[in-house]
Amino acid sequence: MLHVLTGCATTSGSGVNVGPRSSSSFSEDMSKTAYSGPKMDVVIPVFSPGLSDKAANYEKEGVWPELRRAEANRFAYKLKKALDDTGKFGAVRVTPDKTASGDLYVLGKIVESNGLEVEFDMNVIDASGKQWLDDNIDYEVSDGFYKNPRNTDKDPYDPAFNKAAADIVKALLKQKPSELSTVKHIADLRFGASFNDKAFDEYMDTSSTPIKLKGMPSEADPLYERVKAIRVKEQLFVDNLQPNYAAFSQKMNDSYLTWQKASATELRLQKQAQNESLMKIIGGALLIAAAVAVGSNGNRNNNTLGRDMATIAGGIGGAVLVTSGITSREEAKFHQDAINELGQSLDLEMSPQVIEFDNQSTKLTGNMEQQFQQWRAFMARMYELESTPDKAL
């Protein structure tokens, strides 16, 4: 009995992964996940689709521009959802580009996406210019994912975005709360400087990176109050864009999940066909070479008709295998064409919208990035109109 009790005592720590944990291990886990610092507002610009500079390379690299541009929007939104789920950030917003105002920026670039594997680069930088993370997320979908009926309507790439969010949280927990508060001040000042650099640049040392905070204007400073009010309006505008990104991701969801599964199947079949083709061609070449060798030896030794027949049979067998290998290559080409057709079936469209603020309105047209730039120009006009500091916005 004593031996058993001693065993329990010595294995109740981290060595056993079932049953109640020791208080020390529990506290250690909590220290890794708890966060009480400033809630950073995160900007996730639409990912770079990672397209080649030369359109001629697209098909050769297995990339289809329409699909990649759609994925660039979808991936940014998927990462937003993953970060929201951590509960450790303030507002997490997808934006058309990196000019939007925020405390923390997550810049993504798609490297690979084919239904079986997804890879993207991720650079995390705060408003001061300090780099938090330079990461590469690479995830391979398990062979059994598409065979499991429980995975119906699930995105096989979700673990990649959860991993990316976890990496960003780890980077957040390494920052000092006082430094995060400074970053939030710098974000306010940089937004103000985008409208009036003379009024706000004096509070920042921009001679090097990261930017250093030299001071802050008074909370009662009318210029500062005006800029903060306009920043709230921009945040509201970007908040209003989020349902558009959500709707787009949802709209493409069924087609995209179908493409992922079909592309993964086609790639597996293509790889199988290519392997079979290679083995058949190698086997055929060896048979032909052996037949030639036997024939040459027979000629030298005046062997019987049976050996001549073996030579012919070996040659025919090798030719059949080579022909079969060519057929497998044609099959692989068929699967590649099927992927190509699937990839061309998705496209990204944005509708014009009318924006109103303070009895003024403007019509935004073009894609989301163009509309956002038009909105920034609209805000700049509003700032100029409010030339008197005490006039309400």
According to the model, what pLDDT value does residue 389 have? 47
Query: 202, 229, 254: which is the final residue of a domain?
Result: 254
Judge whether 392 lies within some domain.
no
Among residues 229, 254, 279, the one where a domain terminates is 254
| The amino acid at 378 | F
Is 114 a member of any domain?
yes
Q: Report the C-alpha gap between 371 and 353 in whole angstroms.
A: 9
For residue 368, the enclosing domain spans: 353-386
Average pLDDT, the chain: 78
Identify whether 304 is part of a domain. Answer: no
327 domain-assigned: no
Helices (H), 16-121: 23-33, 57-60, 65-86
Check residue 276 and give its pLDDT. Answer: 57
pLDDT exceeds 80 at position 342: no
325, part of any domain: no
Alpha helices in 194-304 (DSSP H): 197-200, 222-251, 253-301
Which of these ranges, 13-22, 241-250, 357-366, 369-378, has the smallest mean pLDDT? 13-22
231 and 83 co-located in one domain: yes
- Which of 226, 254, 282 terminates a domain? The answer is 254
Same domain, 224 and 367: no
The structural domain count of the chain equals: 2
Which is more confident, 65 or 128? 128
Return the exposure string of 355-384: e unless at least 16 CB atoms fall within 10 Å of the residue's CB, then b: eebeeeeeebeeebeebbeebeebbeebbe
Query: Tokens representing 380?
Result: 């700049």
Q: Which of 165-179, 264-278, 363-377 has the lowest mean pLDDT?
A: 264-278
Average pLDDT, stretch 258-270? 79
Position 46 scores a pLDDT of: 93
Position 320 in a domain: no
Percent of the chain with pLDDT over 90: 39
Residue 30 lies in a domain: no
User: Do residues 393 and 222 touch, judged by C-beta distance below 8 A?
Assistant: no
249 and 380 both lie in a single domain:
no
- pTM of the predicted model as reported, rounded to 2 decimal places: 0.73
| Mean pLDDT, residues 297-309 taken together | 51
Q: Is residue 22 part of a domain?
A: no
Q: What is the pLDDT of residue 30?
A: 35
